[in-house]
A and B are shown apart, each in its own frame.
Chain A
């Protein structure tokens, strides 16, 4: 943007920004390690530029809510959403479509973790000893850190988390959840399994202080979602080109940004269970 245009952005504060030369923009929030997003996803943008023949840009966002807003505003046309945020975004932008999901996302799961001082032991079912403990979810809009754990907790105990636990917090992030439960600030927490495995491997977790006590059944999670009007803007068949480019992304350093081993096709219907769950726990209105 030239100096003059920036100046105008300032002068015309009251006017919404105007459409710019069309480039295809995407955003992504990985489930772990949000550092150096611009550099890491810049490479993905370069790859997509090469594959799609239009300029592709990446913009970093801070939260699922911001990603959904950007998607709705057409500030981004393609986004790597979590299960729940994808459902929310597709509800707001009619015609938008889930294109592909990570290989791991076909059978994603969450762990319920506990500080070892609670004496809670790993088990095949949720234990009644959880009642009255302090508990933290991850971010409020997270599928693995909030939605699915909350669903299974409600299903098992027949009550809202606030009624099951002595206190319910939202750490905002999976890494924070682990750190807080490990430090005993919260006794129990819900965490994305992939983040847990990664931090365990990196030695950030002390198994004598925090352990997994329960694993949720599997559910579909992260996916690429594209706006329905991209064919109109970028030419017929563009959506399919995007899908193909995503499925053919094989370079390990690109996939490591997400981190996923590969991408597989996905459709809106795959996320029916997520939508039903969100409705069941009152996160979505009809």
Chain B
């Protein structure tokens, strides 16, 4: 696997620790350089009145309409469950063809568009409807499933193939060798993605679907923090209790319930609009009219005024956020592990990680903006805390899965020594791999920080939708997708270079949700 990669071959001769160090130094070095270029000003602020109200709202949540809350929770689950149920088989199917470049590029490009933007696109085609919500989640999720499933299959042993009749077709070979071997990993990854789908589903409320995010955004925007607190708590509870209510046997029942819970679509009859959207709306007028110089002007303007500056800001922020995420993981994961925090004391740590990964970044960013003024700083902090919380949770799970197994010895050191000499070295390659996976996600998410006045690519995409300029939105989304395909292949290379492809066992234990 490594020898097929020329760069990897060079490094394969050195020790893996050295390469690992090299990659880390490179990443940190780039982040330090990015700090020079990024806009991280600090402003004097007086946020205490607002923060006091936010704190009170979180501590004393209030919600007067239990029916509305239940409905929102139900619909949040319904969208997530159905989207996962559809995207898993699609992802499995695509993962079988993942060796084809076209499939890989297709998957990377659908992944690269944020769920919110998919939502805005499908809203043009299907209006505010259940279809829009489902597609907005299941399209990017299919891309993710295809990629991760393919990587899981890649890591399986080829030996069982020898036991099969040579004339079996490839589908049967796949079903009898790769699928059974990878099954536990597939299941635990799907569970993990279900939690992600719940988050996506909630966030889609921000653009008008009737999920938790709908009310959460309104309450937060209007400064009704007691209501916002109640919704946030409801969401945390929903995520924290997944393992109690997601039971394999109940899933068919849930699926039927989910279909029943999908919101009604108000009359929507303009089906012919689909064609107009893809053939006209998303192309600049000059191009449609065959005015070549006008079209060149348009592209030139977009490139110099939006694409290039947006690209630079996005990359700078992403790089800093990536490294800060790594720092947060290293700080936070021991708090949630059995071996270092203890059987009981790990619960506060786990709770902290739950809060970090479940609070929408936009809200974290708002609070940090109150604290340090509008700049890239709150964006970086919000992205790093959110993603750091998520990966630290996976890393802590991996540690817990190993705790008390045959890998542990009675003379293992405790406390800081254990952290420095046992846990962190063992977790580090997998942690780095997850960080590389999240790179794409951070890139996508850095897009939605327009409130901070930072003109990332996503800021311009959002503006384009607000101004009903779908031609601009389409170009910018295409650029984002392209960037993501590049980052994806770069992170693949870096992973190989650092040999951080988690072994099958690590992967499985990391993804275990319990």
Chain A positions near chain B (C-beta within 8 angstroms): 1, 3, 6-7, 9-10, 13, 15-23, 25, 32-38, 57, 59-66, 68-70, 72-76, 88, 92, 115, 117, 134, 136, 139-141, 167-173, 175-176, 179-180, 182-186, 204, 206, 209, 283, 285
Bound Cα distance from A115 to B43, whole angstroms: 13
**Interface stretch of the complex, out of B177-185, B222-230, B350-358, B412-420:** B222-230
Offer 11 A-B interface pairs, CB within 8 angstroms, sorted by A: A3-B260, A16-B268, A32-B222, A35-B218, A73-B127, A75-B128, A169-B450, A169-B452, A183-B46, A184-B43, A184-B373
Given known pairs A1-B265, A139-B466, A140-B462, the reply for A179 and B127 (CB within 8 Å) is no
Nearest to A37 among chain B residues (CB) is B218
B374 touches A7 (CB 8 A): no
Pick from B223, B274, B466: contact of A175, CB under 8 Å: B223
Q: Which residues of B contact A13 (CB under 8 A)?
A: 131, 134-135
A35 touches B373 (CB 8 A): no
Starting from the known contacts A16-B270, A35-B222, A140-B462, 15 additional A-B residue pairs (CB-CB under 8 Å) come to A15-B271, A16-B125, A22-B267, A35-B218, A59-B266, A62-B207, A63-B466, A66-B208, A70-B127, A74-B268, A167-B375, A172-B450, A180-B374, A183-B50, A204-B223
- B370 interface contact, C-beta 8 A: yes
Bound Cα distance from A170 to B469, whole angstroms: 18
Nearest to A172 among chain B residues (CB) is B451
Pick from B134, B207, B262, B266: contact of A63, CB under 8 Å: B207
- B56 interface contact, C-beta 8 A: no
- B254 interface contact, C-beta 8 A: no
Q: Which residues of A contact B373 (CB under 8 A)?
A: 134, 184-186
Nearest to B130 among chain A residues (CB) is A9
Q: Which residues of B contact A19 (CB under 8 A)?
A: 267-269
By DSSP majority rule, is chain A's interface helix, strand, loop, or mixed? loop
B267 touches A206 (CB 8 A): no
B266 touches A75 (CB 8 A): yes
Q: Which residues of B contact A172 (CB under 8 A)?
A: 221, 450-451
Pick from B265, B274, B465: contact of A65, CB under 8 Å: B465
B127 touches A17 (CB 8 A): yes
A185 touches B369 (CB 8 A): yes
Within 8 A of A (CB), among B107-131: 120, 123-131
Given known pairs A22-B267, A169-B451, the reply for A66 and B207 (CB within 8 Å) is yes
B45 touches A65 (CB 8 A): no
- B411 interface contact, C-beta 8 A: no
B262 touches A59 (CB 8 A): no
* Residue among B123, B130, B207, B467 with most chain A CB within 10 A: B467
B222 touches A173 (CB 8 A): yes
A61 touches B128 (CB 8 A): yes
Q: Which residues of A contact B463 (CB under 8 A)?
A: 140
Nearest to B284 among chain A residues (CB) is A285
Bound Cα distance from A193 to B380, whole angstroms: 34
Given known pairs A34-B222, A183-B370, A204-B223, the reply for A66 and B45 (CB within 8 Å) is no
Min C-beta distance of A190 to chain B, whole Å: 13
Min C-beta distance of B186 to chain A, whole Å: 24
Bound Cα distance from A88 to B466, whole angstroms: 10
B45 touches A185 (CB 8 A): yes
A6 touches B260 (CB 8 A): yes
7 nearest A-B residue pairs (beta carbon): A169-B453, A19-B269, A16-B271, A62-B208, A140-B466, A184-B45, A75-B127
Q: Hey, what's the 0/1 contact readout for B27-69 against A, CB within 8 Å counting as 1? A: 0000000000000010111110110000000000000010010
- B345 interface contact, C-beta 8 A: no
Q: Which residues of B contact A75 (CB under 8 A)?
A: 127-128, 266-268, 270
Bound Cα distance from A35 to B453, whole angstroms: 26
Nearest to A89 among chain B residues (CB) is B468
Q: Which residues of B contact A23 (CB under 8 A)?
A: 267
* Residue among B270, B374, B450 with most chain A CB within 10 A: B374
B467 touches A169 (CB 8 A): no
Min C-beta distance of B133 to chain A, whole Å: 11
* Residue among A16, A21, A61, A134 with most chain B CB within 10 A: A16
Q: Which residues of A contact B468 (CB under 8 A)?
A: 65, 68, 88, 92
Q: Which residues of A contact B452 (CB under 8 A)?
A: 169
A63 touches B208 (CB 8 A): yes
Min C-beta distance of B258 to chain A, whole Å: 9
Q: Which residues of B contact A169 (CB under 8 A)?
A: 374, 450-453
Given known pairs A141-B467, A285-B285, the reply for A70 and B128 (CB within 8 Å) is yes
B259 touches A7 (CB 8 A): yes
Q: Which residues of B contact A167 (CB under 8 A)?
A: 41, 374-375, 453
A69 touches B259 (CB 8 A): no
Bound Cα distance from A135 to B265, whole angstroms: 39
- B206 interface contact, C-beta 8 A: yes
Nearest to A140 among chain B residues (CB) is B466
A35 touches B219 (CB 8 A): yes
Q: Which residues of B contact A3 (CB under 8 A)?
A: 259-260
Q: Which residues of B contact A35 (CB under 8 A)?
A: 218-219, 222, 224, 227
* Residue among A75, A76, A141, A175 with most chain B CB within 10 A: A75
Bound Cα distance from A61 to B370, whole angstroms: 27
* Residue among A7, A9, A38, A209 with most chain B CB within 10 A: A9
Pick from A66, A141, A171, A184: contact of B123, CB under 8 Å: A66
Given known pairs A69-B127, A140-B467, the reply for A184 and B46 (CB within 8 Å) is yes
Pick from A9, A25, A141: contact of B262, CB under 8 Å: A9
Min C-beta distance of B30 to chain A, whole Å: 25
Pick from B125, B135, B274, B369: contact of A180, CB under 8 Å: B369
- B159 interface contact, C-beta 8 A: no
B47 touches A184 (CB 8 A): yes
Q: Hey, what's the 0/1 contact readout for B216-247 against A, CB within 8 Å counting as 1? A: 01110111100100000000000000000000
* Residue among A92, A141, A169 with most chain B CB within 10 A: A169
Given known pairs A74-B268, A204-B223, the reply for A60 and B126 (CB within 8 Å) is no
- B291 interface contact, C-beta 8 A: no
- B97 interface contact, C-beta 8 A: no
A175 touches B451 (CB 8 A): no
Bound Cα distance from A283 to B43, whole angstroms: 30
* Residue among A59, A64, A70 with most chain B CB within 10 A: A59
A10 touches B268 (CB 8 A): no
Q: Which residues of A contact B135 (CB under 8 A)?
A: 13
Min C-beta distance of B452 to chain A, whole Å: 6
B45 touches A183 (CB 8 A): yes
Q: Which residues of B contact A17 (CB under 8 A)?
A: 126-127, 129, 131, 265, 268-269
Min C-beta distance of B462 to chain A, whole Å: 7
A175 touches B128 (CB 8 A): no
* Residue among B68, B127, B375, B469 with most chain A CB within 10 A: B127
Given known pairs A9-B262, A69-B123, A169-B451, the reply for A185 and B47 (CB within 8 Å) is yes
Nearest to A91 among chain B residues (CB) is B468
Q: Which residues of B contact A76 (CB under 8 A)?
A: 266
Bound Cα distance from A75 to B451, whole angstroms: 29
Given known pairs A140-B463, A184-B45, A185-B43, the reply for A18 and B269 (CB within 8 Å) is yes
Q: Which residues of B contact A57 (CB under 8 A)?
A: 266
Q: Which residues of B contact A179 (CB under 8 A)?
A: 50, 223
Nearest to A173 among chain B residues (CB) is B221
